[in-house]
Amino acid sequence: MESSKSEIVISLFDNSTLSFDLLGKESHLEVVSVMMTNVTTETTMVKLKSKINLVMKAVEERDHEIAALSDHMKTCEISESS
């Protein structure tokens, strides 16, 4: 008896569409397209929420790193000007 695996594939960019329409001069962004196979809606939502939480955590960590580096740069500039 084979067990079927469930998977979610998230494609961040769709290369078949242009991200910038030169004639209309409008910016278009294809953000996320999702393909699901053998997955219930509830399972899909749980997995997507988990992935979104991981991305949000990574963004928050980067924000803290950027703030710390910015503070460090300001401190260095103040000490150099003194």
Parallel, antiparallel or unpaired: strands 7-11 and 33-37:
antiparallel
- As a whole number of Å, the CA-based R_g of the chain is 21
Q: Which residues contact 78 (CB under 8 A, 6 or more apart)?
A: none
Per the domain annotation, does 45 fall within a domain?
A: yes
How many domains does the chain contain in total? 1
CA distance 54 to 56: 5
Q: Which domain holds residue 23?
A: 7-81
Q: Domain for residue 52, yes or no?
A: yes
Q: Is residue 1, in this structure, part of any structural domain at all?
A: no
Binned at pLDDT 50, 70 and 90, residue 35 comes out as low
Q: How far apart are the first and last CA of the chain?
A: 76
63 domain residue, yes or no: yes
Q: Are 29 and 19 in contact (CB under 8 A)?
A: yes
Instruction: Identify whether 42 is part of a domain.
Output: yes
pLDDT per position as a tens digit, 2-21: 445 555 555 554 555 444 44
pTM: 0.46
Is 2 within the bounds of a domain?
no
42-75, pLDDT tens digit by residue?
A: 888 888 899 999 999 999 999 999 999 999 999 9
Is residue 29 assigned to a domain? yes
